[in-house]
């Protein structure tokens, strides 16, 4: 990278791409907590705190990753959950587990965000007026 140039996060790029062409919402929360018993409990609380359950089509997804512990949780609202089914989330979880072990965490999260974006575009395309 050239001196003075700014590096854009792969996660930010993936978020912009993933939400383009869809009515869905994706948020990523990265934690560095050493002590965390249950990432899903924390992620669910953040999902509520961020007001993500208030999207019109109930198609919001929170990707929560504890970078120190390499643990994560995916919290999705009922609209997207019904649209893609449980197998989608199981597969996505397996893929994120592998990606967190095999690549930089930032890249692993970006890949997950892109996969969610594909599902959102398929099931919740952008409203064209």
Confidence of residue 7 (pLDDT cuts 50, 70, 90): low
Tokens linked to 9: 């996060």
Average pLDDT (113-122) is: 97
User: In this structure, are residues 92 and 57 in contact, taking their beta carbons and an 8 Å threshold?
Assistant: no
Give residue-wise pLDDT tens across range 81-90. Answer: 999 999 999 9
Q: Look at residue 129 and tell me if it is in a domain.
A: no
Where is average pLDDT lowest: 34-38, 60-64, 66-70, 82-86? 34-38
How many structural domains comprise the chain?
1
Q: Look at residue 33 and tell me if it is in a domain.
A: yes
Q: Look at residue 88 and tell me if it is in a domain.
A: yes
Predicted confidence (pLDDT) at residue 3 exceeds the cutoff of 60: no
Q: Look at residue 4 and tell me if it is in a domain.
A: no
CA distances from 26 to 57, 88, 118 (A): 13, 16, 12
Q: What is the pTM of this model?
A: 0.89
Confidence of residue 70 (pLDDT cuts 50, 70, 90): confident
Domain containing residue 105: CATH number: 3.10.310.50
Q: Look at residue 16 and tell me if it is in a domain.
A: yes
Give residue-wise pLDDT tens across range 93-117. Answer: 999 999 999 999 999 999 999 999 9
Residue 30 Cα to chain centre, angstroms: 10
Q: Look at residue 127 and tell me if it is in a domain.
A: no
Q: Look at residue 5 and tell me if it is in a domain.
A: no
Q: Look at residue 85 and tell me if it is in a domain.
A: yes
Structural domain of 25: 10-122
Of 37 and 9, the structure prediction assigns the larger pLDDT to: 9
Predicted confidence (pLDDT) at residue 4 exceeds the cutoff of 60: no
Residue spans of alpha helices (H) in 8-85: 10-19, 39-49, 78-84
Confidence of residue 35 (pLDDT cuts 50, 70, 90): confident
């Amino acid at each position: 990278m050239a001196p003075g140039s700014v590096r854009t996060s792969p996660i930010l790029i993936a978020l912009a791409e993933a939400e383009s062409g869809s009515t869905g919402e994706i948020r990523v929360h990265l934690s560095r907590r050493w002590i965390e018993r249950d990432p899903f409990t924390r992620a669910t609380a953040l999902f509520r705190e961020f007001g993500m359950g208030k999207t019109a089509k109930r198609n919001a997804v929170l990707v929560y990753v504890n970078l120190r512990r390499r643990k994560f949780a995916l919290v999705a609202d009922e609209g997207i959950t019904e649209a893609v089914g449980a197998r989608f989330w199981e597969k996505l979880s397996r893929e994120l587990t592998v990606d967190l072990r095999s690549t930089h965490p930032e890249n692993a999260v970006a890949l997950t965000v892109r996969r969610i974006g594909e599902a959102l575009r398929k099931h919740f395309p952008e409203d064209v007026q």
